[in-house]
Copies of this chain bind each other. A is one copy, B any other.
Amino acid sequence: MITTNEINLRTQGDTDIIDITAKVQKFVTDSAINNGTVTVFVAHSTVGITTIEFEPGLVADLQKVWENLVPENIPYDHDTHWGDGNGYAHVRASLMGASLTIPFTDRKLVIGVWQQIILVDFDNRPRNRTVIVQVMGE
């Protein structure tokens, strides 16, 4: 059995990080599927999906590390060609990845107590975003 669901949300720009764990768990709970996997996917090229212990210190640390690894204000060919100014956001999203697959049993995600599912919007302005949450199992 399969259910395909959407989370729609508004992000604030500048590597905004949002905890979507409860919404993903709710789609699993509400499905008639007991065991399987949930695939979380963002259909946007400047957004990544991963897990983290979601607390303000680590949210700030992750933002700082990205600025160290792939700085916003160095030249990117993307910006030269298209003038968007968000070349850094595309590259960061490509490195982080758009997809995450998590098993569940008895309708409960097997994630840790200190582990949350996060959306990271690297773009340089507020955006409306859609996250696809597909529940598959039996």
List chain B residues, Cβ under 8 A from A97. 50-51, 97, 100
A60 CB within 8 Å of chain B: yes
Q: How large is the interface on A (under 10, 10 to 19, 20 to 34, 35 or more residues)?
A: 35 or more
Contact between chains at B43 and A115 (CB < 8 Å): yes
Is the contact region of chain A dominated by helix, strand, or loop, or is it mixed? mixed
Closest chain B CB from A6 CB (angstroms): 9
Task: Note all chain B residues with C-beta closer than 8 A to A55.
Answer: 78, 81-82
Q: Given the known A-B contacts A43-B110, A51-B45, A138-B1, are A58 and B78 also in contact in the complex, defined by CB atoms under 8 Å?
A: yes
| Known pairs A95-B50, A134-B103; A35 contacts B77 (CB<8 A) | no
Smallest Cβ-Cβ distance to A134: which chain B residue: B103
